[in-house]
Amino acid sequence: MADSTSQSQETLSNLLHETRSFPPPADLAENANVKAEAYDRAAEDRLGFWEEQARRLTWERPWDTVLEWEPPFAKWFSGGKINASVNCLDRHVEAGLGERVAYYWEGEPGDTRTITYAELKDMVCQAANAMTELGVRKGDRVAIYMPMIPETVVAMLACSRIGAVHMVVFGGFSVDALGQRLDDSQAKLVVTADGGYRRGKPSALKPAVDSAVAERPFVENVLVVRRTGQDVEWNDRDVWWHDAVGSQSTEHTPEAHDAEDPLYIMYTSGTTAKPKGILHTTGGYLTQVAYTHWAVFDLKPETDVYWCAADIGWVTGHSYIVYGPLANAATSVMYEGTPDTPHRGRFWEIIQKYKVTIAYMAPTAIRTFMKWGDDVPAQFDLSSLRILGSVGEPINPEAYVWYRKNIGGDRTPVVDTWWQTETGAIMVSPLPGVTAGKPGAAMRAVPGVTADVVDEEGKPVPDGGGGFIVIRDPWPAMLRGIWGDEQRYKDTYWSRFEGLYFPGDGAKKDADGDMWLLGRVDDVMLVSGHNISTTEVESALVSHPRVAEAAVVGATDKVTGQAIVGFIILRGGEEEVPDDLLQELRNHVGTSLGPIAKPARLLAVPELPKTRSGKIMRRLLRDIAENRAVGDTSTLTDSSIMEVIAKQLPSVKPGD
Ligand code: 6R9
CATH of the domain at 627: 3.30.300.30
Counting ligand 1 atoms within 8 A of each CB, the residue from 471, 505, 522, 534 with the most, and so the one to mutate, is 505
Ligand 1 centroid from CA 392, angstroms: 4
Segment 555-569 shows an average pLDDT of: 92
Residue 471 lies in a domain: no
How far is it, in rounded angstroms, from Cα 75 to Cα 83?
Answer: 17
Please give the pLDDT value at position 41: 97
DSSP 337: S
How far is it, in rounded angstroms, from Cα 526 to Cα 626?
Answer: 15
Q: Do 146 and 171 touch, CB atoms closer than 8 A? A: yes
**DSSP characters over 200-214:** TEEEE-HHHHHHHHH
Counting ligand 1 atoms within 8 A of each CB, the residue from 391, 417, 426 with the most, and so the one to mutate, is 391
Kindly state if the Cβ of 87 falls inside 6 Å of ligand 1.
Answer: no
Please give the pLDDT value at position 583: 93
Q: Which residues contact 504 (CB under 8 A, 6 or more apart)?
A: 1, 270, 492, 520, 521, 522
Looking at every residue in the chain, the average pLDDT score rounds to: 93
Interhelix angle 283-296/46-54, nearest 10 degrees: 90
Overall number of domains in the chain? 1
Higher pLDDT, 386 or 573: 386
pLDDT over 90 percentage in the chain: 84
**Using CA positions, which residue lies closest to atom 1 of ligand 1?**
420
Domain that holds residue 622: 528-654
How far is it, in rounded angstroms, from Cα 233 to Cα 79?
Answer: 47
Q: Do 317 and 106 touch, CB atoms closer than 8 A? A: no
The H-assigned helical ranges of 234-345 are: 241-244, 283-296, 315-317, 324-327
Highest mean pLDDT among 425-429, 597-601, 606-610, 625-629: 425-429
* Helix or strand holding residue 222 (H, E): strand 221-225
Kindly state if the Cβ of 396 falls inside 6 Å of ligand 1.
Answer: no
Residue 589 lies in a domain: yes
Q: Which residues contact 239 (CB under 8 A, 6 or more apart)?
A: 134, 221, 222, 223, 224
Please give the pLDDT value at position 270: 60
Residue 481 lies in a domain: no
Residue 457 lies in a domain: no
Counting ligand 1 atoms within 8 A of each CB, the residue from 395, 615, 617, 619 with the most, and so the one to mutate, is 615
Confidence class of residue 53 from pLDDT cuts 50, 70 and 90?
A: very high
Kindly state if the Cβ of 394 falls inside 6 Å of ligand 1.
Answer: yes
Please give the pLDDT value at position 8: 41
Confidence class of residue 561 from pLDDT cuts 50, 70 and 90?
A: confident
Ligand 1 centroid from CA 410, angstroms: 25
Ligand 1 centroid from CA 23, angstroms: 24
Q: Picking from 45-54, 219-228, 524-533, which range would have the lowest pLDDT averaged per residue?
A: 524-533
How far is it, in rounded angstroms, from Cα 392 to Cα 398?
Answer: 16
Per-residue three-class SS string for 111-157: CEEEEEHHHHHHHHHHHHHHHHHCCCCCCCEEEEECCCCHHHHHHHH
Dihedral sign of CA atoms 171, 504, 598, 628 in order: negative
Ligand 1 centroid from CA 113, angstroms: 31
Answer yes or no: is pLDDT of 272 > 70: no
Please give the pLDDT value at position 3: 40
**Would you list which residues are annotated within the binding site for Mg(2+)?**
542, 544, 547
Higher pLDDT, 583 or 630: 583
Confidence class of residue 638 from pLDDT cuts 50, 70 and 90?
A: confident
Higher pLDDT, 14 or 626: 626
**Using CA positions, which residue lies closest to atom 8 of ligand 1?**
392
Answer yes or no: is pLDDT of 249 > 60: yes
Please give the pLDDT value at position 611: 85
Answer yes or no: is pLDDT of 512 > 50: yes
Segment 411-419 shows an average pLDDT of: 98
Answer yes or no: is pLDDT of 656 > 60: no
Tell me the residue length of the chain: 656
Q: Write down the pTM of the prediction.
A: 0.94
Answer yes or no: is pLDDT of 462 > 80: yes
Residue 554 lies in a domain: yes
Kindly state if the Cβ of 442 falls inside 6 Å of ligand 1.
Answer: yes
Going from the C-alpha of 17 to that of each of 13, 14, 441, 519, the distances in angstroms are 12, 8, 11, 17
Residue 139 lies in a domain: no
pLDDT over 70 percentage in the chain: 96
Please give the pLDDT value at position 648: 66
Ligand 1 centroid from CA 391, angstroms: 7
Strand partners, 371: none
Residue 588 lies in a domain: yes
Q: Which atom of ligand 1 is nearest to the CA of 417?
A: 17
Report which of 401, 417, 184 is spatially closest to residue 289, judged by C-alpha positions.
417
Q: Picking from 111-125, 206-220, 335-349, 529-543, which range would have the lowest pLDDT averaged per residue?
A: 529-543
Residue 563 lies in a domain: yes
Please give the pLDDT value at position 4: 41
